[in-house]
Chain A
Amino acid sequence: MSDSHDPRTGEPIPEMCADDKATMAAPNPPSDSGLSTISKATYFKEAALKNLFLVCACVAVAGVGLIFLFVGLKGWPIFAKVGIGEFLTGAKWYPTKGFFGILPLIVNSLLAMAGALVLGAPLAIGTAVFLSEVASPKVRELVRPAVELLAGIPSVVYGFFGLVLLRPIIAQLFGGLGFGLFTVWLILAVMILPTIAALTEDALRSVPEGIREASYAMGATKWQTIWRVLLPAAKIGIIDAIILGMGRAIGETMAVVMVAGNARVIPDGIFKPFLTLTTVIVMDMPYASGDHRTALFGVAIILFIISMLFVASIRVISRFGKGMS
């Protein structure tokens, strides 16, 4: 979203990826060369400030650690009691009767995520391509704020919209109650769209202009350029965008709980109610106690691990992608 153009020459500055940013730290002033051009007091003050900033940066690490610690501690007893294997692969979630298997929840979360991606990713990538390659500046000024606004709408409002407008329409059109995978896919697709679109647009923008010019010079049409040159060139960024969208889809709660129907089984149709890893917490937490409550914290820590896996996979893919080029 930042204007990455050199203000003097107007040339675009290519987007740096995370590792590059870390290596190219801002230049250090001459005072670091060992010559005593500054007083000892200033030196200590500078060092102290640097350490203060480092502490601030480490708050992020502390945060992750604290989440693991506190949510994990609260959830640990259920793993000890039921066994982590049984917890993850058990096919029955019926805590009030002592069944703590979250497999149906995992499957449902994955189903919801997959459908949202199938619907949302092409739409998002299409919008990103539109913004980056096809739209005139005037139209861009209209569409890009729209995408940013979509990102800003709170998830409760999405859920509310799904509940009051989408659900009755789907019930009318397809029978049943209107809850289920189909409704969730529609809502989630619109929710992850801005995430994927923004990152894909960034990725496309960072492809050097020269490549486009070369493609046009060889007589390619715009679409051929996009399809055969630009999208492959931006492949890593697009994959990152999609993985981030996946993470967002699987972690979404409020929007899903209002339109999913919350039945604790794997649905046998896309218009049947179902429960996911996130919605089980929000549905059960108000009354859960004892082992049930512990199990919900267990689900939370599993969710946390899943989201961290997504982040890690982005890193791995980026490194792999760079190795290739």
Chain B
Amino acid sequence: MQSRERIDKRLTNGFALGVIWLAAIATVGALGTILLYVIVNGIGQLTPAFILTWPHGVNMEGGIWPTIQATLYVTALAMLITTPIAVLAAVYLAEYAVQGRLVSTIRFAADSLASVPSIVMGLFGLALFVEGIGMGFSVIAAALALSFLLLPIIVRTTEEAIRAVPKYIRWGSYGLGASKWQTVSRIVLPSAMPRITTGVILAAGRAAGETAVVIYTMGTMINAPLLPLDPGRTMPVHLMLMAQEGINMPAAYGTALLLVLMVLGFNLTARYIGRRNRRMQG
């Protein structure tokens, strides 16, 4: 009887582990299918002309340069606005905060912001920045709306980065007579910087891929924005419109591929920084 139990145990174990392997394979497979499909169909579009020229003609033939510029501009502006605030907020939560109602409220608010559906954020941007304050469809309105979306993400990763700095380093600093801010600014933050940078770059990747927020705050007009008040159409918005119109599918595939490459670029850069940091820390 005992050996029967042992065989049953082993059979279930083998079967279950097989199922688990299948799950992992399905996950990787899903990623592979999506990437492969986008690459295979879009690669033909990736000529310098596509990247650097403007769309023209009946169905946006030509290139998609203005959308690339719009995407980079709004992403950069959003990161510029949100990073200082988020990092300092994380410093507060990690270094100064004491458990209490205020901190609980802040955390609840941050978690809520993180799970806001992006279309709600888009309507919020429309209500407050575009119409309320009167910025109109503009890069700055989109960047401000995006920064609310990105804030909790960067706060979370920065906080984790700060907490990962070992305590004994701080004690050493205090032991030398440093004040709290001196310790934070000269010891803790520099030490956590690679992780913080990783988090920021990943958040930038998220910002670049946002559609629902941008479409209600930056508009859909093809334009290469120069000033923050200019409207524009970003790559994800362009992809959505191209796919919906359905007439110039090659351009849609090309845009999809470029977008995926951009996000992949952000992802790989963040990963590279993280790996280099880990290697340096030994």
Report if A and B touch in the complex (beta carbons < 8 A).
yes
Q: How far is the CA of A221 from the CA of B5 in the complex (A)?
A: 12
Q: How far is the CA of A248 from the CA of B260 in the complex (A)?
A: 21
Which residues of A have CB within 8 Å of B244? 258
Of B7-15, B46-54, B59-67, B225-233, the stretch lying at the interface with chain A is B7-15
Partner of B109, one of A60, A122, A258, A307: A60
Known: A2-B195, A164-B243, A254-B240. A66 touches B116 (CB 8 A): no
Once the chains bind, are B267 and A152 in contact (CB under 8 Å)? yes
Once the chains bind, are A61 and B260 in contact (CB under 8 Å)? no
The 8 closest A-B CB pairs, nearest first, are A154-B209, A126-B23, A251-B117, A53-B92, A221-B13, A223-B16, A57-B89, A56-B88
Once the chains bind, are A251 and B209 in contact (CB under 8 Å)? no
Which residues of B have CB within 8 Å of A222? 13, 17
A36 within 8 A of B: no
Quote the shortest CB–CB distance from A262 to chain B (angstroms). 11
CB-nearest residue of chain A to B216 = A285
B143 within 8 A of A: no
Of A90-98, A176-184, A295-303, the stretch lying at the interface with chain B is A295-303
Once the chains bind, are A131 and B24 in contact (CB under 8 Å)? yes
Which residues of B have CB within 8 Å of A38? 179
Point out residues on B near A: beta carbons under 8 Å.
9-10, 12-13, 16-17, 19-24, 26-28, 30-31, 34, 37-38, 84-86, 88-89, 91-99, 103-113, 115-121, 123-124, 127-128, 132, 148, 151-152, 155, 159-161, 163-164, 166-167, 170-171, 173-174, 177-181, 183, 195, 202, 205-206, 208-212, 216, 236, 239-240, 243-244, 249, 252, 256, 259-260, 263-264, 266-267, 271, 278, 281
Classify the secondary structure of A's interface with B.
Answer: helix
CB-nearest residue of chain B to A315 = B108
Once the chains bind, are B109 and A63 in contact (CB under 8 Å)? yes
Q: How far is the CA of A71 from the CA of B128 in the complex (A)?
A: 8
Partner of B243, one of A152, A160, A315: A160
Known: A27-B170, A153-B34. A300 touches B108 (CB 8 A): no
Point out residues on A near B: beta carbons under 8 Å.
2-4, 6-8, 18-19, 21-23, 25-32, 37-38, 42, 45-46, 49-50, 52-54, 56-61, 63-64, 66-67, 70-71, 73-74, 122-127, 129-131, 134-135, 142-143, 145-150, 152-161, 163-165, 190, 193, 197, 221-224, 226-227, 244, 247-248, 250-254, 258, 278, 281-282, 285, 296-297, 300-301, 303-304, 307-308, 310-312, 314-315
